[in-house]
Structure 1
Amino acid sequence: MRQSKLAALALATTAVLGLPTAQATAQPSPFPFDTGSLGSGSGDPEIPTEDTLPDLTVTPLLEGLDHPWDAVQAPDGAVLTGQRSGGFFVRRADGSTGPVAADLADLYVQSETGLMGIALAADFAQSRRLYTCQGFQGGGVTDIRIQSWTVDSAWTELTRGAAVLTGIPVQDGRHGGCRILTAADGTLFVGTGDTAAPGVPQDPNSLGGKTLHINPDGTPAAGNPNAASPVYTLGHRNAQGLAQQPGTGRVYAVDQGTTRDDEVNLLVAGGNYGYKPDRIPGIYDESVPMTDPVRVPGAIAAVWSSGSTTLATGSGAFVSGSGWGPWNGAFVMGGLKTKQLIFLRLAADGQSVTAQTFGLQDQYGRLRSVTPTPDGSLLVTTDNGDTDQVLRVTPQG
């Protein structure tokens, strides 16, 4: 039934976009996995919207920032963020705030690329180690890389460690977003953009347009489709959100759409999520479907898609705690274009969405990142310019 549904969806999409059927030539998958049975393609505009979100209390933690891309909360209560153009800032547990010194002399800042995702190491309480995903330029090399750091106990200085992973492509900064997720087992998932280059999303030898899975030392994690490669999944446009569902271990990626269809994808090792913008040789053709099972046989349908209007989803997380009421355990995303939080209630099997709701509409402008904290609140970063904030959003259920 799902394969039939995917085929029907592909034909409908082809008709809408005017794609000649002669161009829908079957091509071999770069990975030797049959992944076509996963995903129900439930990006259905008929998903019910419920007005049951609890009241939200919003507390500014850091202000006067310029495009803070991510924020994390350490076990000691300190909240760390970084500006895309460079510079780390902290709010310590005692309420004091200020910059955190760090050597960012080789930071590459261009368009959508700069200092981006931040993640604490699983053993941060002992090692004081964290990771950033950032543009790099030096020695004739320009790329995006995962950089390790250690921070002192007073949160005054970050000391640069090894570059954990290099070679994530970047081109003029477009679609250079990079999100890091520390999984429950201590490994790292990384979501990358396709650099707006036509062949990148489907190229298994490129680290762009992918989700990557690595060990803390940068080596490929166990279970990757190619044991010698960090590539975990392919066929993404700009995977800017990553989250692991508590209790199930399922990992989801949020992919920004073109003129339609932002997506939430349930990741499976070796999965191809169907973005193939090279219909015209050498041209980055964004008129193709975000998930194209005609030109990408076995492409996995999205768990959720935004439909004909994009929301510009820039992050993803799971909320937890009784304060969230009926939305306890829901998946939440930051909406950039629509200036809101988007909550999705997932089905028990994790492959579809049963309800959605929205919060903070038009109150704080563009909302970039969402990060869960142990007390059930969310850290949310705004993305408006040089007046941005890190907010703590607490449910009052």
Structure 2
Amino acid sequence: MLKRLTWILVLTLVLRASIAFGQLPPGFGLEVVVGNANVPVALASVPDGRLFYAELLTGSVRVVRDGRLIPEPFITLPIATAFNERGDPRGLGILGLAAHPDFSTNGLMYVLYTPSPEEVVVAHFKDRDGIGVEETDILRQPGNGGMHNGGRLRFSSDGTLLITRGDNGMQQLAQDPDALQGKIMRVNPDGSIPDDNPDPESPIFASGIRNSFGIAVHPVTGAAFFSDNGPTTDDEINLLVPAGNYGWPRCVGACNLSDPLLKDPLISFTPTICPVGMDFYTGNTFPEQYRGDLFFASCKTLTGGVHRIKLVPPLFDRVGIQEDFFEGGLGGVLDVKTSADGSLYFSTFDTIFRIVPPDPDVTAGLRGTVTDLDFEGNTTPIVGAVAVLRKKNERTTLFKLKTLTDEAGVYVFTGVPDGEYRVVVKKDGLEKARVTVDLMVGETTTSNIRMSISP
């Protein structure tokens, strides 16, 4: 899963959208928060603004406060590590990190790590003046070297802890109801089993998983979404449901089998991209078209980046837009995290970046309502239509932005450079309407669009 970063990227300034490694959306830039980091595999934020990160190979959890790395680690754990024949790190070390929902009062930081190749431990530590103390192990489970340990942690909306476990390279375990490998587990914060688990005697919440290394919880519905790495095809993003069986090793991607218990992915990727850490953007510093979106990392060395999914309202259980936020040139991305101050961070194999949003004082906005005009002249808001804002010159498209109409049929773009644009509205993949608009700095232009959704 993890690929070695074979070159060192040195950045000392904020990089803007013309950067060579992959085009960011207009107005965005990157800022180095921590350079020369040691495989910062997992990120966690806490309400006071600090950013915690886990170093895969050192056993340390480090802390960034006010943009600066605190010299003394939060904790340093005795860990086992492993490398493959190419020298790439395998799935041993510190793999998961999550702050308790009540961190402000109890100071508990949860860690998943491997003290030996044959053991996986979930423990929490109490924050005392920036140092982790009072280790409490809540789970100890068998491992199998560094093969497909998974290891991500995420607290769900009901306060339970979700834990991803890979199949440890033993495919049959993913379908074995008595094995914890190849599963997503759900436990209480103290490690006990919730009474409303599919089996109240088991921590297993879902099965049929090859190697999940990313999980996030939707800020509106509370539903969880997770990534799963396919073998040579069909990397997946899935919606987590109780007792869901996601097919592995019977199938990858859409199973197309008659078994009603099998769950198809929301989206799959072939060629594979190695989807890993993920988070929903819940801040308010990004332009409105990105708020509430799922951002996820991909860790392939040459093409890894940060990707974006916008889910269709009001249920948020279908993919409306999937696109690269940026891709390539950083050697693979490991995790993505929204912080308490609304920043979005991501980590590569040796650097932690903050994504710098466009300056609202030098950009423009556009909003409008998309409605269906029926034969009797009545109008109905169109929910989940794709609105595309495209800037062109005489020969080519310079850039385009996408969003979805909300439950009221409203689309919004903010943080956009001024100029002339074309707005295209699509429904079910078909173009239904287009208009041209002029946007001016400091102003929000209104453009309501009426269209017919009939073919």
The whole-number CA distance in structure 1 between the counterparts of 2:38 and 2:146 is 17
What corresponds to 2:262 in structure 1? 299
Structure 1 residues 144 and 296, CA gap change in structure 2 (3 angstroms): farther
CA contact (8 A) 2:49 2:340 kept: no
Moved more, 86-95 or 76-85: 86-95
1:69 CA drift (Å)? 0.9
1:311 CA drift (Å)? 0.7
Please give the per-residue CA displacement for 1:136-159, whole angstroms capped at 9, x wherever unaligned.
22xxx8211211111222x2x222
CA contact (8 A) 2:253 2:264 kept: no
The whole-number CA distance in structure 1 between the counterparts of 2:114 and 2:307 is 28
What corresponds to 2:121 in structure 1? 145
Moved more, 325-334 or 359-368: 359-368
Report the secondary structure of 1:341's partner residue: strand
Structure 1 residues 128 and 377, CA gap change in structure 2 (3 angstroms): same
Report the secondary structure of 1:135's partner residue: strand
1:325 aligned to 2:288?
Answer: yes
What corresponds to 2:400 in structure 1? none
**One-letter amino acid matched to 1:326:** Q
The whole-number CA distance in structure 2 between the counterparts of 1:52 and 1:134 is 34
CA contact (8 A) 2:235 2:274 kept: yes
CA contact (8 A) 1:181 1:190 kept: yes
Correspondence list, 1:145-164, <5 A: 145-153=121-129, 155=130, 157-164=131-138
Structure 1 residues 226 and 188, CA gap change in structure 2 (3 angstroms): same
CA contact (8 A) 2:154 2:216 kept: yes
Q: 1:124 aligns with which of 75, 79, 103?
A: 103
CA contact (8 A) 1:103 1:160 kept: no
Please give the per-residue CA displacement for 1:298-318, whole angstroms capped at 9, x wherever unaligned.
311111111x20110111211
What corresponds to 2:156 in structure 1? 183
Q: 1:65 aligns with which of 21, 37, 60?
A: 37
What corresponds to 1:230 in structure 2? 203
Report the secondary structure of 1:89's partner residue: strand
Report the secondary structure of 2:213's partner residue: strand
Q: 2:306 aligns with which of 341, 346, 353?
A: 341
**One-letter amino acid matched to 2:203:** P
Normalising by structure 1, report the TM-score.
0.77
The whole-number CA distance in structure 2 between the counterparts of 1:226 and 1:327 is 38
CA contact (8 A) 1:238 1:255 kept: yes
More strand by share: 2
The whole-number CA distance in structure 2 between the counterparts of 1:75 and 1:62 is 20
Report the secondary structure of 2:105's partner residue: helix
**One-letter amino acid matched to 1:357:** E
4+ long deviations beyond 6 Å: none
CA contact (8 A) 1:223 1:269 kept: no
Percent same amino acid at aligned positions? 26
CA contact (8 A) 1:314 1:334 kept: yes
1:365 CA drift (Å)? 2.4
What corresponds to 2:390 in structure 1? none
The whole-number CA distance in structure 2 between the counterparts of 1:312 and 1:201 is 19
- For the aligned residue pairs, the C-alpha RMSD in angstroms reads 2.2
What corresponds to 1:23 in structure 2? none
Please give the per-residue CA displacement for 1:159-190, whole angstroms capped at 9, x wherever unaligned.
242111111x3212011121000223321111
Q: 1:375 aligns with which of 326, 341, 348?
A: 341
Normalising by structure 2, report the TM-score.
0.67
